[in-house]
């Protein structure tokens, strides 16, 4: 308790009393040991739009498709799982690409990617297929 008061007193002084009441409120809600602000390290900051536009299939796969297709979320065929991909690839790439654009069962339309162009989605699909056959 004592240290909490110390910290708050310092903050109150620093904030010229303005936010003192808020700080005290925060201190009594039982969560004072938990740091609330987790700053994102620079390496994980979002790539800007220009960077994304330049991405090819592998980058789109990594950024967008990987979160489901790496671990097989919801039955997604996994990258590199030749058996899982074979019957799908046999449908023909145009059918597969329609399923990428429009969605298919639990595969969300466009992999839920808001910034991906059609070309990028196709490249990501081709990347996955190329890594998933013998
Ligand atoms: C939110 C999870 C999720 C994301 C993100 C996702 N997929 Fe899928 N995808 C699935 C699931 C689940 C299936 C299996 C659907 C089924 O057949 O039941 C699937 C199936 C597919 C298929 C096979 C469709 C067919 O006709 O058999 C292709 C191709 C595909 N995804 C491409 C992509 C591409 C390219 C991306 C990235 C742009 C992507 N997916 C992102 C979940 C996802």
Q: Are both 115 and 77 inside the same structural domain?
A: yes
For residue 5, tell me if it sits in a domain. yes
Which residue's alpha carbon is at the smallest distance from atom 18 of ligand 1? 105
Task: Note down the domain range covering 123.
Answer: 47-130
pLDDT tens digits for 72-118? 999 999 999 999 999 999 999 999 999 999 999 999 999 999 999 99
For residue 80, tell me if it sits in a domain. yes
For residue 42, tell me if it sits in a domain. no
Q: Are both 28 and 62 inside the same structural domain?
A: no
What is the total count of domains within the chain? 2
Q: Are both 106 and 74 inside the same structural domain?
A: yes
pLDDT tens digits for 4-26? 556 555 564 545 454 444 444 44
Tell me the pTM: 0.75
For residue 12, tell me if it sits in a domain. yes
Cβ of 76 closer than 6 Å to ligand 1, yes or no, is: yes
Ligand 1 atom closest to residue 106's alpha carbon, by position in its atom list: 12
Q: How far is the CA of 109 from the centre of ligand 1 (A)?
A: 9
Q: Are both 87 and 123 inside the same structural domain?
A: yes
**98 near 70, Cβ under 8 Å?**
no
Cβ of 75 closer than 6 Å to ligand 1, yes or no, is: yes
């Amino acid at each position: 308790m004592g240290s909490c008061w110390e910290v708050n007193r310092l903050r109150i002084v620093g904030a010229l009393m303005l936010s003192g009441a808020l700080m005290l409120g925060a201190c009594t809600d039982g969560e004072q040991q938990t740091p609330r602000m987790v700053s994102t390290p620079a390496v994980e900051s979002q790539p800007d739009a220009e960077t994304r536009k330049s991405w090819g299939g592998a980058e789109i796969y990594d950024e967008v498709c990987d979160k489901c297709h790496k671990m097989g979320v919801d039955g997604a065929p996994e990258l590199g799982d030749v058996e899982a991909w074979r019957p799908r690839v046999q449908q023909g790439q145009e059918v597969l690409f329609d399923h990428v654009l429009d969605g298919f069962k639990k595969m969300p339309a466009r992999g839920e990617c808001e910034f991906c162009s059609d070309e990028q989605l196709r490249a990501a699909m081709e990347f996955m297929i190329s890594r998933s056959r013998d």
